[in-house]
Structure 1
Amino acid sequence: MSKPRSLSLAAYRVLSWGVPSSNGRPPEPRPDGELLWIHIGSHDRLRAVEDFCQRLLPVRPGLSLLLTTPHDADLRDWGDHSGILVNLPAEQTGAARGFLDHWRPDMGVWIGGGLMPNLITRAEERGIPMILLEAEVDVKVGRGGKWLPDITRYTFDCFRKILSTSEATARQVRKLGIPSSKVSVAPPLHISPAPRPWPEDELIETNHALAGRPVWLAAWVQDKEFISVLSAHRQALRMLPRLALVLHVADMSEAEPLHRRLEAMDLRCANWDDGDMIEDTTQVILTSDPEDLGLWHRVSAVTFMGSSLERGAGGRDPLVATALGSAVVHGPYVNKFQTLYDQLRQANAARAVRSATELGDAVVELLAPDRAADMALAGWQMVTEGAPQADLLIDMVQETLDQRRAENAGA
């Protein structure tokens, strides 16, 4: 490290010294073996990171993940995740040292802005290779550090590779004095689900039983949505008399009571979970097993993503349905996955409805020749465009960890 850099960092570290008071919870133990640290700068990037992690772990046996969020993020809002999820400490010198002493990551991937000079420069000094994705010129300096303009440059220079989503941001980074060889433009991580394959013989048998009938799926339906979905189906049956509904209930305990209700409503129902056969007169196929959705998304040209017509549930992830070639319809209450639904609608791969009547109209319209196919193609293009970027990052992580392992073996 050059002398000017040492003086600037020394001054900054003195100004930002401090260790936050304990919250009373000891940190989780560090997993054995290789540990990849991924920092997620904002909550809306978690789903894409999760998708990347699911792709990475099978090709890197023994790798553990440490996911971090900004220090002031409420972890209760971050939902399910791979590996360990913790808040980063505040931008204080002692806190940064304590974090790195405990976790000892083999590599770091920082996604987005909010760069923390103490943590990042300490990691670089310890020889921890780091990559910056979706770079933003956004550095969170501690108190008194704003008068040290070189801190931003030193922080960026700690990364071995810097990938920006725009040429404008890349130019900003280069203007800091970062070598051009480190900086490149690349698209952000996109979600690109890879659903597990389905047995071909069962798929053929199910399609044969349906005998070319139009089929739509209502997935993850809550009990307070049953009447709306069944009313939409009755409405659609007037235009499509051979239409079949696959009704997947969100709560398995609701399946049997719903079966009795369907019989009382004079709707001919096959309970798939009980092994009932699909007949030519079957109007509703009732199921509650989430695993079977892989079959029904493939069979159904249109999927209504339930848990979205009424307030409370917040919607369900639509991307597996999209990846399996089904056009997506959803209600207005999808706040848990709002960004995904917005992207699908912008790509003309999803349609929002607000009532049973609108749902019935959408089913009839989308089952018209080529209409669902156009939406499904648009959705498939959206969910597959992120695969090359995820594959590139996997290659970078693999290469960097292999190099570090070789260096440690030779030490």
Structure 2
Amino acid sequence: MSKPRSLSLAAYRILSWGVPNATDDPYIPRPDGEVIWIHVGAQDRQRAAVDFCQRLRQSRPTLSIIMSAPPEADLSRWDACPHPLVNLPAEQTGAARAFLDHWRPDIGLWIGGGLMPNLITRASERDIPLILIEAKVDIKVARGGRWLPDITRYTFDCFHTILATTPDVVRHIRRLGVSSSKAEVSPPLHVSPNPRPWPEDELIEMTHAFSGRPVWLAAWVQDKEFISVLSAHRQAMRMLPRLALILHVADISEAGPLHRRLESMDLRCINWDDGGTIEDNTQVILSAEPEDLGLWQRVSPVTFMASSLERGAGGQEPLIATALGSAVIHGPFVHRHQQLYDQLDRANAARTVKSATELGDAVVSLLAPDCAADMALAGWQIVTEGAPQADHLIDIVQDCLDQRS
């Protein structure tokens, strides 16, 4: 049953009346069948949302997904998305109605803050089940509507389930007058990587090729990081003379020039992509194929996630390496995945370095078997801790959809 409309809400809609925004990029057609609308309130939560969608589709393969971002978000700066990703319309009554008329979602999942009363209350009045996770007491009220009582409470009360990451937020929501049975504490969504399997015979062959030598991987290395990585490798070889470096370059066109450069530096190097063979005295294995990282991360107990030592690239996602049991080192410039790296650093599952010298020291330190194993275990706990939360949320979504069938 739809909730009766409050006087505050009626007044708010009058104050925020408007027509749908004109746009040069109209919505694509609505998919057939069931549709879940997932709103991502902040760019840094997009990766976790996409990962959740992948898990959800495994449980409900016919479900179509539409994702939205805040009205002001510059989607050109967001990651490529496997699902349609659109900006929400401005907080206007007419625009909210047009959005819902077009997509007709069967269920809505809102991640984070920036709640928009017109859109949320109209969805609730259409009996669309709404779920709020990573809840914040953060409402985007249209200009002129802030003085109206009960808008915040009424907006929160439209949600079927509210999951917040801290008890303080839950208590605040309950103090608004929202039913205590709706709100509970639950961890945020985490990315749960699912590395593709690798042929066992290739792994055995690679392990045999290294013959027990210590190995480390530098992945996604930018051209301006080459000297730092190679300096760190030379430094580490003073302590570990048989040390091998797998140097994976971010730009495949750099592989050939770098190979010639390494030979001029008197480093014994092979180009794996050109069919080079790893020998007992090989010091650097050059690679550029992204698909081969699954192999390298399995045979390397330590991975330096490059594109992070110099400003500009913003880092690469570390969780596949972590899931494959490799201890992670990274530079300070990881803003594209800052939350993930902060989480790994806090758990002692990753280590930050700021220079070639620090990188060389970290490689030697982490190649000690006990240290690498401790970091790998801490990383594995981070990788797996989000699974129960995702499973719980999938159950809620499934139940809501089943009740509508």
CA displacement 1:217-253 (0-9 Å, x = unmatched) = 0101112222221121112111111111111111112
Q: Which shifted more, 144-153 or 350-359?
A: 144-153
Amino acid of the residue matched to residue 384 of structure 1?
A: T
Given the superposition, is the C-alpha separation of residues 391 and 74 from structure 1 closer, same or farther in structure 2, using an over 3 Å criterion?
same
Structure 1 contact 5–154 (Cα < 8 Å) conserved: no
Q: Which amino acid aligns with 2:231?
A: S
> Partner amino acid for 1:241?
P
Whether 1:15 and 2:15 are equivalent positions in the alignment is yes
For residue 64 of structure 1, report the CA deviation from its aligned partner: 2.2
Aligned equivalents of 1:335, 1:177: Cα separation in 2: 38
Residue 40 in 1 paired to residue 19 in 2?
no
Q: Which amino acid aligns with 1:361?
A: D
- 8 A Cα contact 1:307 1:314, kept in partner: yes
Amino acid at match of 1:35: V
Question: What is the DSSP-based 3-state SS (H/G/I as helix, E as strand, rest coil) of the residue aligned with 1:245?
Answer: strand
Q: Which residue of 1 aligns with 2:26?
A: 26
| 8 A Cα contact 2:3 2:125, kept in partner | no
Contact 1:247–1:285, Cα closer than 8 Å, also in 2:
yes
Question: Separation in 2 of the partners of 1:67 and 1:136?
Answer: 19
AA at the equivalent of 1:250 = A
**Alignment RMSD, CA only?**
1.9
CA separation in 2, counterparts of 1:346 and 1:377?
14
Distance 1:146 1:355 in 2: 50
Q: Which residue of 1 aligns with 2:102?
A: 102
**Which residue of structure 1 lines up, in the alignment, with residue 164 of structure 2?**
164
SS in 2 for 1:370: helix
- Would you say the 8 A contact 2:193–2:383 is kept in 1? yes
Q: Structure 2 vs 1, CA of residues 16 and 212 (structure 1 numbering), >3 Å: closer, same or farther?
A: same
Alpha-carbon shift at residue 3 of structure 1 (Å): 9.0
Q: Any idea what SS the aligned residue of 2:246 has?
A: strand
CA drift of 1:342 comes to 1.9
Q: Do residues 202 (structure 1) and 224 (structure 2) align? A: no
* Alpha-carbon shift at residue 339 of structure 1 (Å): 2.2
Partners of 1:367 and 1:254 lie apart in 2 by 28
Q: Which runs of 5+ in 1 are unaligned?
A: 407-411
Q: Is 1:383 matched with 2:383?
A: yes
Distance apart, 1:335 and its partner CA: 2.1
1:151 paired with 2:151, answer yes
Deviates more, 1:169-178 or 1:230-239: 169-178
For 1:409, the equivalent position in structure 2 comes to none
Deviations 1:323-343 (A, max 9, x none): 111111112222222222222
Determine the structure 2 residue equivalent to 1:78.
78
Mapped contact 1:65–1:82 kept (Cα < 8 A) = no
Q: Provide closer, same or farther for how the CA distance between residues 122 and 3 of structure 1 changes in structure 2, counting only shifts above 3 A.
A: closer
Alignment partner, residue 242 of structure 1 = 242
Secondary structure in structure 2 of the residue aligned to 1:181: coil
Q: Residue in 2 aligned with 1:193?
A: 193
1:32: how far off?
2.6
* Other-structure match for 1:62: 62
Distance (Å, rounded) in 1 between the aligned partners of 2:150 and 2:225: 58
Superposition deviation, residue 403 in structure 1: 2.7
- State the one-letter code of the partner of 1:12: Y
Alignment of 1:220-231 (within 5 A): 220-231=220-231
- The C-alpha deviation readout for 1:360-408, integer Å capped at 9, x for no partner, is 111111112311211222122122211111111122222222332x2xx
Unaligned runs of 5+ in 2: none
SS at match of 2:168: helix
Aligned partners of 1:400, 1:71: CA distance in 2, in Å? 27
- In structure 2, distance between residues paired with 1:182 and 1:18: 32
Deviations 1:13-44 (A, max 9, x none): 11211125413332222223322111111222
Matches of 2:260 and 2:58, distance apart in 1: 44
- Matching residue of 1:306: 306
Distance 2:277 2:260 in 1: 17
- The range that moved more, 109-118 or 275-284, is 275-284
1:267-319 Cα shifts (integer Å, max 9, x gaps)? 22232222322221221111111111111111111111111222221211111
Q: TM-score, normalised by structure 2?
A: 0.94
Q: Distance in 2 between matches of 1:220 and 1:73?
A: 28
- What number of residue pairs does the alignment pair up? 405
SS of match in other structure, 1:180: coil
Residues 170 and 183 of structure 1 are in contact (CA less than 8 Å); yes or no, is this contact kept in structure 2?
yes
Check conservation: 1:216, 1:302, Cα contact below 8 A.
yes
